[in-house]
Chains A and B, each alone.
Chain A
Amino acid sequence: DQQVKQNSPSLSVQEGRISILNCDYTNSMFDYFLWYKKYPAEGPTFLISISSIKDKNEDGRFTVFLNKSAKHLSLHIVPSQPGDSAVYFCAAFGGATNKLIFGTGTLLAVQP
């Protein structure tokens, strides 16, 4: 049972345009969400997070939006740069399990 879903395995965007990565979750008890970025042959690195009491968090070119009623979050990257090309994982925390649950990842390719 995949509680955190990233339905787009890959996304291709032109340099300078907006990248939008989407994530859906099923457990309404999740109260904290994170995005990680992973380059090949490296471990994931933390990008940005959001608490369920907020609906938006911004850090430079990266903004995460949370829609609790739809159980949906998205990561916006503006403007996209070739160095942003990586696999992006969303993750959720909360509920009884006390575990961080990851999605399956979306491979973002930013074309120069």
Chain B
Amino acid sequence: KAGVTQTPRYLIKTRGQQVTLSCSPISGHRSVSWYQQTPGQGLQFLFEYFSETQRNKGNFPGRFSGRQFSNSRSEMNVSTLELGDSALYLCASSLVGTKNIQYFGAGTRLSVL
């Protein structure tokens, strides 16, 4: 079975731009969660999607949004990028929810200049 695939692996953007990250979950997994990892902060939960609906949300500003498609693939969008948005963005999929074991992709490294 293919693992969780995140594209692109690396991105460089400038302040004020917007960016879209993509995540393809493991086949059969219906829950997709997104996390932001920065040095010293661990993994901060962004949101979780299940069956195309946002089921849970972390404490991030509205500039961070996401969606899930009928095939469970998910996208995350960040608008009006700030320098502090530079981070590793990780996507994780699981069968039914975040309490289940989550399988992570390798992440997208976003650098905002």
The chain A residues found within 8 Å of chain B, CB to CB, are 4, 6, 32, 34, 36, 41-46, 49, 89, 91, 93, 97-105
- Given contacts A34-B101, A45-B104, A46-B101, whether A102 and B43 have CB atoms under 8 Å apart is yes
Q: Could you tell me the distance in whole angstroms from the C-beta of B1 to the nearest C-beta in chain A?
A: 15
Interface: B32 (CB within 8 A):
no
Which among A4, A6, A100 is the interface contact of B33 at CB below 8 angstroms? A100
Q: Please name the residue on chain B nearest to A1 by beta carbon.
A: B59
Interface: B45 (CB within 8 A):
yes
Q: Is the CB of B45 within 8 A of A101?
A: yes
Which among B42, B45, B92, B101 is the interface contact of A99 at CB below 8 angstroms? B45
Dominant SS among interface residues on chain A: strand
The number of residues on chain B lying at the interface, defined by a beta carbon within 8 Å of a beta carbon of chain A, is: 25
Q: Is the CB of B98 within 8 A of A89?
A: no
Q: How far is the CA of A100 from the CA of B43 in the complex (A)?
A: 10
Interface: B56 (CB within 8 A):
yes
Q: Could you tell me the distance in whole angstroms from the C-beta of A74 to the nearest C-beta in chain B?
A: 17
Q: How far is the CA of A98 from the CA of B42 in the complex (A)?
A: 18
- Given contacts A100-B33, A102-B42, whether A49 and B101 have CB atoms under 8 Å apart is yes
Which among A49, A100, A103 is the interface contact of B45 at CB below 8 angstroms? A100
Q: Could you tell me the distance in whole angstroms from the C-beta of B60 to the nearest C-beta in chain A?
A: 12
Q: Is the CB of A32 within 8 A of B102?
A: no
Q: Could you tell me the distance in whole angstroms from the C-beta of A37 to the nearest C-beta in chain B?
A: 11
